[in-house]
């Protein structure tokens, strides 16, 4: 599938709430538009994704969200919905995946994985065949932080750099919702 390049100024017109996964209009880009400031942007499509129109082009909203959060247009790559619900665009439910195989393996998830039975992210550290359980977490970011904190304490010379995109001020326990 070919993806359209995301306009660099789209953040001036749209605002994303990472806790709800909703994108709202903060400024109109066309005076004759039926869309109004404060309105939720996008419509649900038959394939399960939300799509939105911007300057006469249609985009999958989870790709726009990735751009709004990171400033990166993924091009041929796409964010993956961790819980498998394509309409669940909360930030803690999106991860980068390059293809179906990588989505299944959760490539790039260092120190945690999705545990289907508990519907949580399990953080753990493996060394020499031993596994140190670091807890179950609602959000992949919290699982990653648990992993990083453990490695930093136990193996300070080995700890990988961890720089969050934004300050982390306690994420609420919102769970994985079914739609």
pLDDT for position 128? 65
Task: Express each pLDDT in 47-67 by its tens digit.
Answer: 788 899 998 899 999 999 999
CA atoms of 134 and 165, how far apart (whole Å): 23
Phi and psi torsions of 43, nearest 5°: -130, 150
Q: What's the pTM value of the predicted model, to 2 decimals?
A: 0.55
Q: Which of 5-14, 46-55, 147-156, 159-168 has the lowest mean pLDDT?
A: 159-168
Could you identify the residue written with the tokens 């359209």? 4
Q: 104 and 158: one domain?
A: no
Helix (H) / strand (E) containing 81: strand 78-81
- If you search the block for the tokens 């400031």, which residue do you land on? 37
- Could you tell me if 116 and 94 lie in one domain? no
Whether 91 and 5 share a structural domain: yes
DSSP code, position 40: B
- Domain boundaries, position 21: 1-108
User: How many domains is the chain built from?
Assistant: 2
CATH of residue 31's domain is 3.90.75.20
Residues 11, 90: one domain?
Answer: yes
Regarding whether 84 and 7 lie in a shared domain, the answer is yes
Residue 177 and residue 88 in contact, taking contact as beta carbons nearer than 8 Å: yes
As given in the structure block, the two tokens for residue 20 are 């709800």
pLDDT at 24: 94
Interstrand relation of 57-60 and 78-81 (parallel, antiparallel or unpaired): unpaired
Q: Which residue has the higher pLDDT, 102 or 28?
A: 28
66: exposed, middle or buried (Cβ count in 10 Å: 0-12, 13-18, 19+):
buried
Specify which of 27-36, 102-111, 134-143 reaches the highest per-range mean pLDDT: 134-143
Range with top average pLDDT, 47-56, 72-81, 126-135: 47-56
């Amino acid at each position: 599938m070919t993806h359209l390049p995301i306009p660099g100024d789209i953040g001036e017109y749209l605002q994303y709430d990472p806790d709800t996964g909703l994108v709202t209009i903060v400024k109109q880009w066309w005076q004759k538009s039926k869309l109004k400031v404060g309105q939720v942007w996008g419509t649900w499509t038959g394939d399960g994704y939300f799509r939105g129109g911007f300057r006469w082009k249609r985009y999958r909203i989870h790709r726009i969200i990735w751009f709004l959060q990171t400033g990166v247009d993924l091009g041929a790559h796409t964010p993956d919905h961790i819980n498998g619900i394509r309409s669940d665009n909360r930030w803690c439910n999106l991860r980068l995946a390059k293809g179906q195989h990588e989505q299944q393996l959760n490539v790039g998830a260092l120190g945690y994985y999705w545990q289907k039975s508990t519907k949580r992210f399990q953080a753990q550290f493996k060394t020499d065949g031993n596994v140190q359980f670091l807890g179950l977490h609602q959000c992949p970011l919290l699982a990653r932080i648990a992993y990083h904190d453990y490695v930093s304490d136990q193996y300070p010379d080995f700890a990988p750099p961890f720089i969050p995109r934004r300050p982390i001020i306690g994420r609420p326990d919102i769970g994985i919702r079914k739609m």
